A = this chain, B = another copy of it.
């Protein structure tokens, strides 16, 4: 049962802070998980937030730092001295520590590192700072348990006991050779269920998935999902075990990627949320709106070109919005499915098969919509039969075309190694806006005999 912050709680809590009631506030905090305290801190104005943080020990403060949103964390870090940051960092696992230090200015970074007392810890953190954020190196921690393949079961337990002192959680025991090269894993089960004298060599499992330090985040997410892994060892180019990625970091990565994809699909070019500034929001939306502008302008040119047709059949103007929205919707639908199956690597089959399939889907959807439009045009708007028929045929053609464009664009982009998730939207929308209106008038022109 997750703790929920409500307004009632928040108001009482603020009142206690304003009354300078250290004791009561501490009592409340004592029973909360650090992730919940982080949520509360984000809901407080900055001075009250600092009041809360000052009441906590450095371990809890450190954990809270890892949970805060970027803006709040930045403000908190600015209010702390390098020495204070170092004390907090000291309590964190290397990956979280590196994430926080990585956000500091170059100067403050050096200062903080020089204040970390545990030299080994500092070295590990500096090592992690070398890697790009979204690679195995950037996601991994240096904390893990390793045992040598030549040891006995008994020696393992002793070693694990020693190494475990330094760890918060033990997930997996890695087996390495004398050169620290990863050989496999030792399951807790085999450790528990074999005798103390059994050599590790005989009981470890050599089938182990691993990734290299520079492998990409999305590939790592896919491997961990595919093989249902909770932890994934990271090796360097020589096969030496250098770190471990745990699933919770990857879950965060998956969620962030999904949110980005969702925003991209909605035409937002930066990762934003409802808290962001008006300026940032405006900037994130503008690129997409400008792209819409381009197609809108082309559409305007097309309308100018077909003025004679429109004068003869003014009813055509009436259905411009419908043509536009149908072309747009069909294009987005078709491309979303292809983009998604390319992203989750389930896409297969030949281009021509997909095109034929989309032709059919477009034809079926088009036929349904065209019948309705024909009815509307005839019986609601009392357009003449010829023109109603023209509009219905034109709409079907537009829909088929949109379905095909929506399917072909992401496949072609992918062939040219351009990320279809990013590039498909602008391409499909622009071309459908333009071709939609063009096809509509061209079909009309032909059918009405110009």
A193, A266, A268, A341 — most chain B CB neighbours (10 Å): A266
CA distance A211 to B170 in the complex (A): 23
| A226 interfacial by beta-carbon distance below 8 Å | yes
Whether A381 and B265, one on each chain, are in contact in the complex, defined by CB atoms closer than 8 angstroms, is no
Interface string of A269-287 (1 = CB under 8 A from B): 0001111001101100110
Distance to closest chain B CB from A290 (angstroms):
8
Is A75 positioned at the interface, with any CB of B under 8 Å from its CB? no
* A333 lies within 8 A of B278 (CB): no
- State the majority secondary structure of interface residues on A: helix
Q: Does A405 contact B (CB under 8 A)?
A: no
A27 contacts the other chain (CB 8 A): no
- A289: chain B residues at CB < 8 Å are 326, 329-330, 365, 368-369, 399
Q: Are B193 and A273 in contact (CB under 8 A)?
A: no
Tell me which of A224, A273, A293 has the highest count of chain B C-beta atoms within 10 A of its own C-beta.
A293
A324 proximity list for chain B (CB < 8 A): 320-321, 324-325
Contacting pair A326 B263 (CB below 8 A): no
**Chain B min CB distance to A183 (Å):** 15
CB contact under 8 A between A207 and B33, given known A262-B336, A365-B285: yes
Q: Is A261 an interface residue (CB 8 A)?
A: yes
In the complex, are the beta carbons of B192 and A161 less than 8 A apart? Answer: yes
- In the complex, per-residue mask of A217-261: 1 if CB is within 8 Å of any chain B CB, else 0: 001001111111110000000000000001110111011001101
Copies of this chain per assembly:
2
Chain B CB count within 10 A is highest, among A222, A275, A310, for A275
Contact of B209 with A1 in the complex, beta carbons under 8 Å: yes
In the bound complex, do residue B282 and residue A299 qualify as a contact, i.e. CB atoms below 8 Å apart? no
Report how far A361 CA is from B279 CA in the complex, Å. 7
* Candidates B320, B332, B341, B368; contact of A321 at CB < 8 Å: B320
With an 8 A cutoff between CB atoms, is A346 at the interface?
yes
* A248 x B263 contact (CB < 8 A): no
Q: Is A56 an interface residue (CB 8 A)?
A: no
- Which of B250, B286, B341, B433 is in CB contact (< 8 Å) with A325? B433
CA distance A429 to B324 in the complex (A): 13
Residue contact A333 to B293, C-beta cutoff 8 Å:
no
- Give min CB distance, A38 to chain B, whole Å: 9
Residues of B within 8 A of A43 (CB): 348
Please state if A292 and B329 are interface contacts (CB–CB under 8 Å). yes
- B residues in contact with A365, CB < 8 Å: 282, 285-286, 289
User: How far is A226 from B248 in the complex, measured between Cα atoms in Å?
Assistant: 9
Given A160-B192, A226-B35, answer yes or no on A262-B340 (Cβ-Cβ < 8 Å). Answer: yes
Task: Across the interface, name the chain B residue whose C-beta is closest to A377.
Answer: B300
In the complex with contacts A169-B189, A192-B161, A268-B337, A288-B357 CB distance below 8 A: no
